[in-house]
Amino acid sequence: MKNFEGVSDEALALLYVKGDNRAFDELLSRTQTKLFTYIMFVVRDHDIADDIFQETFVKVITKLQQGLYTDSGKFQFWITRIAHNCIMDWYRQQQSNHIVEVNEENDLQNLKSASVMDTNKEAEMINEQILIDIKKMMNTLPAPQREVVYMRFFQQLSFKEIADLTGVSINTSLGRMRYALINLRKMAKDNKIELALCEY
């Protein structure tokens, strides 16, 4: 069995183009969790996310085989852009870009941001509740605002990268973030939720 340790995603993609199917298996293994998490965060339905994930990889395979990928050093960025386009296609088919129904399998419920806080139990419990409240409020944001918040805070992308990925201007990305934060602050105020995390 060939060992791909130390081989970049970009190099694996090019190996697959040359006919090495095991290189693609390795690529899939490396990228599937992060990509599925992103899709799930936006559409918030496991079955739909699974369909979009599969469609994304069909398009990735097709584009690779058609020679439409060149090693730019940003394979993850490239496949995330394809996933974004698949998500937008799905929304267009639904004829709606509005808020998606919340369900119990929402990926936000599975984010364990608070799990690393283990030095002070009381502060940890308070912070955990704050994060749960924030995630619940984020569930009610329109999809474009949820997406930009996810890319900025969970994927730590720059606004230029977000703009490139979503096919909008930097100003539009900044505007979506601004409205997302305004909406979150308003919801926090209306629900008397304190958003500041405890220090310990």
pLDDT digits (tens, 9 = 90+) for 99-126: 445 455 544 444 444 444 444 565 566 6
Q: What is the pLDDT of residue 39?
A: 92
Please report, for the chain, how many H helices and E strands are present, in that order.
Answer: 8, 0
Determine the pLDDT at residue 137: 82
Cα separation, 144 vs 180, in Å, equals 9
pLDDT at 83: 93
What number is the average pLDDT over the span 157-161?
A: 89
Domain range summary for the chain, segments of one domain joined by +: 1-102, 111-200
Whether pTM > 0.85 for this model: the answer is no
**What is the share, in percent, of the chain residues with pLDDT greater than 90?**
37
What CATH number belongs to 1-102? 1.10.1740.10
Show Cβ contacts of residue 200 under 8 Å, excluding neighbours closer than 6 positions. Answer: 117, 119, 120, 123, 124
Instruction: Determine whether domain 111-200 maps to CATH 1.10.10.10.
Output: yes
